Structure 1
Amino acid sequence: MTPSRPAAIAAELQRAVWRWHFFAGLLVLPFLLWLAVTGALYLYKPEIERQVYDDWNHVTPGRATLPLETLAARVGASVGGTVTQVQKPAALDESWRVTVRRGDGDLQMAFVDPHDAHVFGTTNPGGVMQTVKHLHSLAITGWVGNWLIEIAAGWSIILVVSGLYLWWGRGRTVTVRGRASGRLFWRDLHAVTGLFAGGLILFLALSGMPWSAVWGHNVQAGVAGAGWGRPAAPGGEGHAGHDLPWSLQQHVMPMGHAGPRIAADRALAVAQARGMAPDWTLTWPEGPGAPYLVSATLGTSGAAHVVYVDAGTGRVLQDAGFKDFGRPGQVIEWSAAVHQGKEYGEANRLIMLFACAALALLTVTAPVMWWKRGPRGRTTLPDARTGTGLLAIMGVAGVLFPLTGLTMLVALASGRIKAALAAAQASRARKSWPSSTT
């Protein structure tokens, strides 16, 4: 019996979705596994740092801390450079982290006892977890790695949506059937994992996009330009910094008076009078007219707080907190805090850890399931044909995420070229057949 037209269209759409789901997985699974592992590590940044820097991280509280200018002078002399930033933790028994710029321009982060300026040791800025963060985004490879991660994040969105569609059309099972030796087991494990973790993985992909090289940078500039991050600042130059909330990193830095500077301790006191949190980061002015920057250590989104203090007069040039951000900026700050497991305590972190583990499991079950298709299934790759409706949906995703869209175009073009070559070869074969005689 010939299937009805709606049934045939549905079957073809199912095949088209599967083809694109297969392509997406083939393209980005290694990167998604990389993101899952490094992201899980970064969730436990405080615990890992305490283990790695255990010998450097403990001080005896109860004594008076040195004035910042004295601390900076002594640490700078000990390390051999000029202090540019001091970070104070919330815990009184933890050492402070002081960033020093050496004569050759190299930056070092020193673990310091704030009571006597004793330097326990130095490492690269941000330490081991900054390295993990750079590995997570592949920033250590430059723009190439940043682009690859952005492409992977965009395709992961397509993977989640297409995977849910495939699950819906294949019986919607929520159990794992069969034995581990069979393909059914791995297919069900893959599908059920995606079902229960798909929403979280989609959230991780979308909330991580603001840090991407192309899409994230442009959105950040748009938020800053529209004034959706914080109130507009008078004059000055851009001030990007890892110690700033995302919404503030491309905003114009307010400028003050050039000339003799006030002491860093006075700038800190001004910020504390504005309600600065006990765990703060103070950055010295970068040049004439540049202000002191005092910011709260990044934690929950609502704790975001940055105060710019005129280095010449001690006047507050700008005081920006979460409530001052525009709604888009607040949403992005909130999603960033949830993404990093900081917004809702340990429960938040455990849920994000589950998402990372599920993502890693999906990247393992997918190739096992493919391998168990057998030699014929492994060697027969799908083409890039797709229907108009699916093409429109993917087109929207491609426009929203341009780098992902470019790879879609490449896949479509390769499919068309492959089809054209096959047609040409078939045509030549037909022409070369001997004419039949009667």
Structure 2
Amino acid sequence: MSHRTEEIPQNEEEQDEQEGKAQDPAAGRPGGPAEASSGRPRPARSWAEVRHLLVRLHFYAGVLVAPFLLVAALTGLAYTLTPQLDRLVYGDQLRVDRVGEEVRPLAEQIAAARAAYPEGTLASVITPPGPEDTTRVVLAVPELGENQRTVFVDPYTAEVRGELTTWFGSTPLTTWLDDLHRNLHLGETGRLYSEVAASWLWVAVAGGLVLWLGRARGLRAKSARGVLLPDRTAKGVRRTRSWHAATGVWLALGLLFLSATGLTWSNYGGERFGRLLDAANGNAPALDTALPGADAPAEDHSEHAGHGGSGGASADADPADFDAALAAARGAGLGGIVEVTPPADAASAWVVAQTDNTWPVHYDRVAVDTSNGEITSRTRWADHPALNKLSKLGVQGHMGVLFGVVNQILLALIALGLTAVIVWGYRMWWQRRPTRGDRPAPVGKAPERGAWRRIPLPALVLGIPAVAALGWALPVLGVTLAGFLVVDAVVGAVRRRRTA
């Protein structure tokens, strides 16, 4: 490969200066405009150095965190296809052969399921989402741990269509892909990967937006076209950067949404978010499941679980009571798909909860006394705090179910776009490598070190506490950022020592 005689600029500032259009070509350069009386360079503070610091932060976020983001994007892309994959792989269990005219009572469907699978106890029954779907009879089997055995029954013929080992309603395939996306099948340790990705995604996006929108590149950059569309007339690294940045602008809102919603159920950031919900009284209202006259009140908290939950008694409840509880809930206005859960003890009521996750969602819940068909307690979706609603809807949108196929398509496009942005980012790193014959290098240099020492004092006074607070709110972000700073400082010290 032939070597060019001139180096490609190493970062946006150097390229700006080469083109004669930098915001502040000489601002704050050591040995530049500001010199101490002793003749030694004294760094000059300038607001332009804030941009230089962002360039360095964006560079390291891209180089070091991009692999985590790429894995999250590809596994998330696979997860968006789960509804169609479930239909393809488990169609015999999930679908009926023929839509009938009359649905059999739940008691009859439960009896058929229990005759085929007598192990375990009844945990709940989930009504079919649509006329072509099967009823799900969920069994708690001790040998399965936190998993359940779900028996699929044709609601028109009470014929058992099969069974699957499920996890909070998810099929084995969906569970496998979910674990792949959340923790790479490495358990709690693996969840750090996804939290690193979610914690840094918004940093990379916000930093990239500030750099792209704040650059000064002539009249074209000041127009909406220059911001939203790539420059096809550019060559080399400028062309790659144009595609990288313009695509990032289009994806920014979706990526920020995925980062925020992903953090809500992460290990450490999610725990902080839970504290915020508690402090702001933003949790879902608890359903009082105590029967009138019971000795001690009871509350059902399954609403707080990320994937819903299923209860279960120590022995099977009367199958006829499932029909009674369902009839009372339907009479109270609970339509669509619902989950009927038997009481944990004789002092508790039955719980019927709507589980319709497609917009407009339905999450009303009622407690039913099946001895007289009365509704003893109720929580309405409309009464949920705003913060809880945003969290709940955000999770469903993140999982691709809130708006059905449209939601899936949007997530797939975001995942593909993020993959392209990452690939272009690494290509820029390669294109900016020194190519002179005496200094070959496989990749480009990092942006200039030490910009923070030239930032104005007001920015430091406000910025350092803000970063510390952010590190507390998002512990994984704080720890990894501290690690980056330590490594960067050590590398700088080693290089200075070698130079000396």
**TM-score, shorter chain, exceeding 0.5:** yes
Deviates most, 8-17 or 273-282: 8-17
Q: What is the alpha-carbon distance in structure 2 between the residues aligned to residue 341 and residue 41 of structure 1?
A: 11
**Which residue number in structure 1 is paired with residue 483 of structure 2?**
410
Task: Single out whichever of 114-123 and 309-318 deviates more from structure 2.
Answer: 309-318
Structure 1 residue 77 corresponds to structure 2 residue 115: yes
2:159, 2:193 → 1: CA distance?
Answer: 43
SS of residue matched to 2:143: coil
After TM superposition, list the pairs within 5 Å mapping 1:68-147 onto structure 2: 68-81=106-119, 82-102=121-141, 104-105=143-144, 107-125=148-166, 126-127=170-171, 128-138=173-183, 140-147=185-192
Greater Rg by CA: 2
Q: Which amino acid aligns with 1:3?
A: A
| Corresponding residue SS for 1:378 | coil
* Letter matched to residue 306 of structure 1: R
Q: Which residue of 1 aligns with 2:12?
A: none
Structure-1-length-normalised TM-score? 0.81
Contact 1:76–1:100 (8 Å) recurs in 2? no
- Counterpart contact for 1:307–1:320, Cα < 8 Å: yes
Gaps of 5+ in 2: 1-23, 30-43, 289-296, 434-439
Distance change in 2, residues 1:219/1:3 (3 Å): closer
Alignment partner, residue 366 of structure 2 = 307
1:14 aligns with: 51
Contact 1:29–1:363, Cα closer than 8 Å, also in 2: yes
State the match for 1:161 in structure 2: 206
TM-score (norm 2): 0.72
Give the Å deviation of 1:164.
Answer: 1.0
Identity %: 27
C-alpha distance in 2 between matches for 1:150 and 1:238: 29
Aligned-partner residue type, residue 206 of structure 1: A
Q: 1:2 to 1:197 in 2, by over 3 A?
A: closer
Deviation sequence 1:136-191 (CA, Å, 0-9, x none): 22274222222321221110010011111221344344443469993333222111
Q: Bigger shift: 395-404 or 318-327?
A: 395-404
Aligned to 2:33: none
Matched AA of 2:336 = P
Which among 41, 65, 69 is matched to residue 103 of structure 2?
Answer: 65
Range moving further from structure 2, 343-352 or 138-147: 343-352
- State whether residues 398 and 405 of structure 1, in contact with CA within 8 Å, keep that contact through their aligned partners in structure 2: yes
CA distance in 2, matches of 1:338, 1:260: 35
Cα gap change, 1:103/1:201 in structure 2, threshold over 3 Å: closer, same or farther? Answer: closer
Tell me, in whole angstroms, the C-alpha distance in 2 between the residues paired with 1:122 and 1:372: 54
In structure 2, the partner of 1:373 is: 432
Counterpart check, 1:54 vs 2:91: yes
RMSD value, Cα: 3.7
Distance 2:372 2:450 in 1: 67
Distance 2:264 2:116 in 1: 39
Equivalent in the alignment of 1:283 = 341
Q: How does 1:278-357 map to 2 (within 5 A)?
A: 278-286=336-344, 289-297=347-355, 298-300=357-359, 302-310=361-369, 315-344=374-403, 346-357=405-416
Greater shift after overlay, 291-300 or 405-414?
291-300
Q: Is the 8 A contact 2:432 2:444 kept in 1?
A: no
Separation (CA, whole Å) in 2 of partners of 1:377 and 1:394? 33
Instruction: Write the letter of the residue equivalent to 1:93.
Output: E
For 1:382-437, what per-residue CA distance to the aligned partner results, in whole angstroms no more than 9, with x for missing partners? 587452637545445323312211111111222233334445x35xx86xxxxxxx
User: Does structure 1 retain, via aligned residues, the 8 Å contact 2:95–2:134?
Assistant: yes
Structure 1's 413 and 50: CA in aligned 2 closer, same or farther, altered over 3 A? same
Higher relative contact order (CA 8 A, sep 6+): 2
2:184–2:190 CA contact under 8 A, matched in 1: yes
Distance 2:132 2:418 in 1: 37
Higher helix share: 1
Distance 1:291 1:415, change over 3 A: farther
Asked if structure 2 preserves the Cα contact closer than 8 Å seen for 1:207 and 1:336, the reply is yes
- The 8 Å contact of residues 301 and 337 in structure 1, kept in 2 or not, is answered as no
Residue aligning to 2:4: none
Give the C-alpha shift of residue 349 in structure 1.
4.3
The amino acid that maps onto 2:489 is: R
Q: Larger deviation: 164-173 or 150-159? A: 164-173
* 2:262 paired residue among 183, 205, 208: 208
CA distance in 1, matches of 2:492, 2:428: 27
